[in-house]
Chains A and B, each alone.
Chain A
Amino acid sequence: MTLPETSQMVAGRSRGARARGRAAIVARFLVVIVTTYLGLLAVTFFIGRVIPIDPVLAVLGDRAPAHVVERVREEMGLNLPLYQQFFRYLGDALQGNFGTSVLTTNPVMTDIRRVLPATFELATLGTLIGSLIGVPLGVLAAVKRGSLVDQAVRIVGLIGYSVPIFWLALLSLLLFYAQLRWVAFPGRIDVVYEYTFTPTTGLFLLDSLWQGQWDVFRDVFRHIILPASLLGYVSLAYISRMTRNFMLNELSQEYVVAARAKGLSETRIIWFHALRNAAVPLVTVIALSYASLLEGSVLTETVFAWPGIGLYITNSLQNADMNAVLGGTIVIGSIFIAINILSDILYRTLDPRTRAR
């Protein structure tokens, strides 16, 4: 009386339903992107045009001659009603036009394009360090729960959560640069190389490797390793803790018992079966940590004189260059939105259960 199950029983949903499901996902993503971006622009508009008593002065400073003030007022459309101003602002922002920086006299977008690769390189290396060390540490802490390793990982993590990064950066400069001479002076590259080295992508590590300039690579590495390690430490604190939680959850699942019953080695069960399942939520965690490093670079870059978007924003802040500050804010906000969406997509591809939904 055993009946082989028919293929309909396993077919799941039909192809049409699947396509509809996918369209719904795309539609939801679009709504999220559009509303979040609108929200971002509304908030920056509010900050830039509504809060200041005179936005022109906020942009130009109070020493600008009267005719310049008048011209800029005209250009910014400040004599229009507020909602029309917002639409103009929207249109400009969507075209990447954030006005001119008072400090550098360049269009803000031009400046940001120039400084963004430095931040991108730093945050990426930081996240790499954080995940490559943080994930194994978290796994180890979960497997040896309650052991000395677990306690150590917990303490390292707690301090990483609690330490003011700019302070840690100063102290590490004192130790590794001033005392031990292991790393280079703050900055991205030695002055010597600034004239002989022409970057192509703006990612100095890759560029110098690609061009085969080993001495430049060495120098760039000596500059980037300390700030990247610090950012890496902060993200390690977060990643290792979350990895531990996820792994503890996975290791208590029945499929782990089944894998043992199959005679698999613990190594394979932990690092393949359990970690592969923990990887699904971990992707979101790593993406979030990456986003927060992009942002956290504001403080780190200031200490390390790292010519990225963080330093650009703080320099502009100190010179009351509102166009540049808001432009930088919008760009970082846009990157945040993109990372959120990307991590959501990655989550879906990693988890077969959400793929068809």
Chain B
Amino acid sequence: MSPLLTVDDLRVSFPTRAGLVEAVRGVSFSLGRERLGIVGESGSGKSQTGRAIMGLTPPQARITAKTLSFDGIDLLEASPRERRELRGNRVAMILQDPKYSLNPVMTIGRQIVETLRTHRKISASEAKARAIAMLEAVQIRDAARVFDLHPHEVSGGMGQRAMIAMMLIAEPELLIADEPTSALDVTVQLEVLAILDRLVAERGMGLIFISHDLRLVSSFCDRVIVMYAGRIVEEIAAADLRNARHPYTQGLLSCMPEIGGDRHPLPVLDRKPEWAR
């Protein structure tokens, strides 16, 4: 079986006054119907990798790759229209903070229905019924009422569930989650993750989980990619994380406190310029 997504030597660069700045510098991986975590600090290029796959890079950016294909479709050759028809339909993306990523003047229900009716020819009433069913699937109990609420009227956790509902309603095969729980309260994070976990498993989607939190990613994904300065420094199965060879990954790992562990002196993350080469 050919992989769902193939990324080979992906490069994303932005022209600035100081010259070309490369945010992603030769990233390669392939993905089946599995969960891949991408970890890195801010500025490591992990989000730009996700956005390049979605086709959401700002227009001034330059994207090159030997291969960037989804289910046999060459994404770099595809017309803007073809890419748009993929987005939300077969490839979807969850953004970080529902406070900003939901349109404040539209009801939650309309925003979910909008995704569905953009990609499926169905009646308004059927779309509404499916949106409510989707809200129930993300464990919103009072779905019919939440359907008519505006984003500011719900909590962050519920907003993120609505976001998940909005992105999954057209049943995409690949989901990119860009820091989907970082803006949420710690207590709510696990609930939202559990919902995401179940839906991904039930629907057999491929998932790219982008986060700065190595532990979270390793507990949630099958495989982990560690990025540094636009490059992949390590690719490893989540279960083997303890055997990570790259010093950066080890550094990230040792930053995580352990109960009963000795914390003196506090470890400082090493950044060596040669890793970026």
Contact = CB atoms under 8 A, between A and B. Distances in A.
A63 interface: no
A7 B145 contact: yes
A10 B87 contact: no
A9 B156 CA distance: 11
Contact of B56 (A1, A12, A261): A261
B149 interface: yes
Interface residues of B, number: 45
Interface in A1-39: 1-7, 9-10, 12
A56 to B, nearest CB: 57
A4 B141 contact: yes
Nearest to A264: B118
B114 interface: yes
Contacts of A62: none
B95 A277 contact: no
Interface string B157-168: 110000100110
A253 B100 contact: yes
Given A260-B87, A262-B88, A280 B157 contact: no
Contact of B190 (A1, A263, A356): A1
B103 A352 contact: no
A207 B63 CA distance: 61
A5 B140 contact: yes
Interface residues of A, number: 31
Interface string A277-288: 100100000000
Contacts of A92: none
A10 B102 contact: no
B163 A258 contact: yes
B103 A263 contact: no
Most buried by B among A4, A261, A280, A351: A261
Contacts of A356: 153
B104 A7 contact: no
B140 to A, nearest CB: 7
Most buried by B among A1, A10, A258, A276: A258
Contact of B95 (A2, A254, A351): A254
Interface of B: 54, 56, 84-89, 92-93, 95-97, 100-106, 114-115, 118-119, 139-142, 145-146, 149-150, 152-155, 157-158, 163, 166-167, 190-191, 194-195
Interface of A: 1-7, 9-10, 12, 253-255, 257-265, 273, 276-277, 280, 350-353, 356
The 7 closest A-B CB pairs, nearest first, are: A263-B88, A263-B87, A262-B88, A254-B100, A4-B141, A352-B150, A261-B93
Given A10-B158, A262-B118, A263-B89, 16 more contacts: A10-B146, A255-B104, A258-B101, A258-B163, A261-B93, A261-B95, A262-B88, A262-B92, A262-B167, A263-B88, A264-B84, A264-B114, A273-B103, A276-B103, A350-B105, A352-B153
12 contacts: A1-B191, A2-B191, A4-B140, A9-B158, A255-B102, A257-B56, A260-B87, A261-B167, A262-B114, A263-B118, A353-B104, A353-B152
